[in-house]
Each structure stands twice: as C-alpha cells, then as structure tokens.
Amino acid sequence: MPKQKAYYIIDFDSTFTQVEALDELARISLKNHPDKEAIFQKIEDYTNFAMEGKLSFSESLAQRVRLLEANEDHLKQLIKHLKKKVSTSFSRNAEFFKKHADDVLIVSGGFKEFITPVVSQYHIKKENIYANTFVTTGDGKIIDYDHANPLSEEGGKVKLLQHLKLEGQLFGIGDGYSDFQLRESGLINKFFAFTENIARESIVAKADHITPSFDEFLYVNDLPRAISYPKNRILCLVIGNVDPLTISILKNDGLSIRHKTSFEEKYVKDVGIIVLANGEKLDSNQLKNAVKLKTIGYLGSARNKFDFDLCTRQGIVVFDDPKNNPRNIDFIPKRVADFMNTGATYLSSNFPNLQLPKIDKSHRLIHIHKNVPGIMAKINTVFAKHDINIVGQFLMTNSEIGYAITDINAEYDKQLFKSLKKIEHTIKFRVLY
C-alpha cells in the first residue's frame, strides 16, 4: 500500500515567528501615542483571550485592528522586524521547507501582507499561504480587514480546511486554540502544541504531542532535520546557587533544565549536562552511573571537587574557571552550549582542545576513544565500507584519549553508527547534527 501524502499545517504568530505580529505592529504604529502602554495592553489581552478560547476570534481581531492606527509604512517596518524574529528551530530547519515546499501550508488568523514576505524566504509557496487581508484607504491607512475571508471568523481554520479537502496525513503545529480546533473537528490526524515561544496551559493539555521546538516535531515523525537529537530532550541539571544568567543562556539554547540543590539519584541515568555552582561536589559513584553525561560545567575552580580522571575515562568533557573570575559569569554556560552544538572542546580542563567551524550541508559525528594506535584507521575503514564521503576530519589526543570529529556529506544508515560504536576502545560516540 503506497504511503499517504503528508501535509504540514503551520501557524504563524508565536509559532513560525517568536512574536504576535499584530502586537508588534501596534508597538510600531503607536510608538508616539500618549496612551500607548494602555493600548498595547488591550491588544495583548484581546490576542490572549482568543488564543485561550475565551473570546471569539472575529471579535478579538476586530478590536485589535481598530486599535492599531497603522499604515503601509508601519507594515514595511514590521516585515523587517519579523524577518529577524523567525523561531530559532524553524530557521535552523530551512532545508526541510525547501524539500517539502508542496506539503507545507501556513494557515493563520494573521495577515498575508506581513506573513508572505517572511515565509517566502523559506521557499513556502504563495498559494500555500492562507491568512487574512487588510483593507486600506487610498493613502495607505489600515482601516479594516476583509470580513468575507473565513479566517477572520470564529472557527475560520476549520472552515478553510473543510473547503480545501486535503487528502492524506495532516499534521497541525501551533500554539493556540484555533490550531487545536482543527484536531477537535477531526480534520487533522495529530495536533502538536508548539511551545518554543509560549506555552498556553489550556492548549498544551489537549495536544497529541508537546513540541518545544520544530526539531522535536521532525524527530518524532522521523523527518530530515538540522540536528540529530532535539536539544529539548537533553536533560541539563543545574546544581546549587547559580546566577540566573547561566540558566537563561542554557534555556535559550533549548535544553531541558532542572535546577536542584543536589544531584538526585533519579536524574543519574538520564542527565546529559551538569552545571555546578562554585563549592558543589560530585560523587564518583554517581559519575560512573551517569552513562548519558556528556559535559560538566563548573562555575569556579573544580580542583578537588570531583574526579577529573574518571570524567576523562568516561568521555565527559569538563569546563571550569580555574581563576574563579566573578566577572566571567557567562563563560562556562557558553562553553558548554558551544560544545553541545559544535563539538568544540576549546578551553576544556580535561580534553584535547579542538575548535572548528560548522560545515553546512554535512553531518558531524563525534568519536571519543582511548588513545591507542590504529583507531583512526578503523574509523575510516568503517566509513569506506559504507561508501561515506568525508568532507572534514579532525583528531586531537592527549595521553589518555583521542577526540575525533568527522564531517560527512552523504546520507547514512543506522548501521554506520553501530559499526562505529563497536570499534574496540570506543568510549562514546554521538551524532551532533
């Protein structure tokens, strides 16, 4: 039986972009208005009431457009702003949109005038963009919207999809009530609540799946993606009295953060990253059992706080601040994030220092092994057997370990990974992207 065609129905505001466009337009158009703060608040309230299902969409839209006092010049400023506000995980996966240009639909209660210029950069076809349109006067003032457009009405997305009669597997991705209505009506197969920018509790509770990033959506549906494993699935344990900036940097990188006073037993087997406040210690038994742990960031000098040699033998990269510089508060979280994103071990305290650029349209594989002769030959024999073309390869060693990074540009099968993991003296292997 042939595989059903898949369609991806994606919301715009707070999903494709990080912001609500009408709220942003208000900030531009009302910049010099004496009562701007009160009007901003009203517009935001109308947005949220509709998104949470507390006010009909048509009523919310009418009230917001009325309060805008916007014109075409304001729209131009808005478009420039929105292009910089595309959600990080969407912009990271631009290649997906290029490959699936026929299958992606933007369905929004927003307006084509600002949506089309933003999503068109991602190869999304104009005929696949469904949104409202403004009504303007001869001199370019926005005074109303097209009330005949079904997307301006309550349940507009449902009415539109009923009209389109799409056949196949339909996936909806969005943050609001109107997105959930598509699932409730039975018009789509699955609704993914997108929470990278905002998590509305009433919507999250009804979703088939919560997707904190577009990477997560692609991962669970086994679709091509920019990074191999969604960062929201990597548990980052922050222990002790840590500056909020540290947590903010790691959270903004998309990691799943737990802030605790100690290394609780329940996290030992799943933790991928540990960040420790100055003065905190780690027990060697817990370290031995932390099989998924990739890196430790220590906010100060980690000397005598845990076993560096054990970390090295287990392939755990350690970053600390031996000089204990209090002005350097973003140094450790940035090093940890950079290691997770690119494999860079620059300024690590226990690993060979390796820093390298990200190579576009390639996959990066990391192999950590004991420093014994012949490992690289074995690694490259595996690549040759799988007809893999290497575009870049880097190896750094110290007395204990070898740290190899290989960039390949070919598609690969899962058997390749199994073969690399089976090489004798392998400590850790992972695919970065």
What pLDDT does residue 60 have?
87
My answer on whether 17 and 164 are in the same domain is yes
Cα–Cα distance list, 381 to 171, 181, 366, 419 (Å): 41, 53, 16, 10
Q: What is the per-residue pLDDT across 14-43, written as a single tens digit (0 to 9) for each?
A: 999 999 999 999 999 999 999 989 998 998
> Which residue's structure tokens are 């027990």?
283
Q: What is the per-residue pLDDT across 378-429, written as a single tens digit (0 to 9) for each?
A: 999 999 999 999 999 999 999 999 999 999 987 788 899 999 999 999 999 9
My answer on whether 26 and 113 are in the same domain is yes
* Separation CA 199–CA 210 (nearest Å): 9
Last residue of a domain, which of 221, 255, 272? 221
Q: What is the per-residue pLDDT across 68-86, written as a single tens digit (0 to 9) for each?
A: 999 999 999 999 999 999 9
Domain count, the chain: 3
What pLDDT does residue 2 have?
58
My answer on whether 64 and 131 are in the same domain is yes
pLDDT of 1 > 60? The answer is no
Q: Which domain holds residue 378?
A: 362-432
DSSP character for 388? Answer: P
What pLDDT does residue 423 have?
97
Confirm whether 1 is domain-assigned. Answer: no
- Identify the bridge partners of residue 321 per DSSP, sorted by sequence position: none
Amino acid at 149: N
Instruction: Give CA angle at 144 (142, 147), nearest 5°.
Output: 145
Query: Measuring CA to CA, which residue among 116, 109, 209 is closest to residue 155?
Result: 109
My answer on whether 280 and 381 are in the same domain is no
Half-sphere exposure of 358 (CA within 13 A, CB side): 13
Q: What is the per-residue pLDDT across 52-62, written as a single tens digit (0 to 9) for each?
A: 888 888 888 88
My answer on whether 98 and 18 are in the same domain is yes
Torsion 127-211-13-62 (CA) sign: positive
> Which residue's structure tokens are 């595989």?
3
Q: What is the per-residue pLDDT across 283-301, written as a single tens digit (0 to 9) for each?
A: 999 999 999 999 999 999 9
My answer on whether 239 and 215 are in the same domain is no
Which helix or strand (DSSP H or E) is residue 190 part of? strand 190-194
Q: What share of the chain is helix, strand, coil (3-state, %, to 5)?
A: 40, 20, 40
Query: Domain holding 367: CATH number?
Result: 3.30.70.260
pLDDT of 195 > 70? The answer is yes
My answer on whether 124 and 245 are in the same domain is no
Using 50, 70 and 90 to split pLDDT, how confident is the model at 248? very high
167 touches 141 (CB < 8 A): no
Confirm whether 226 is domain-assigned. Answer: no
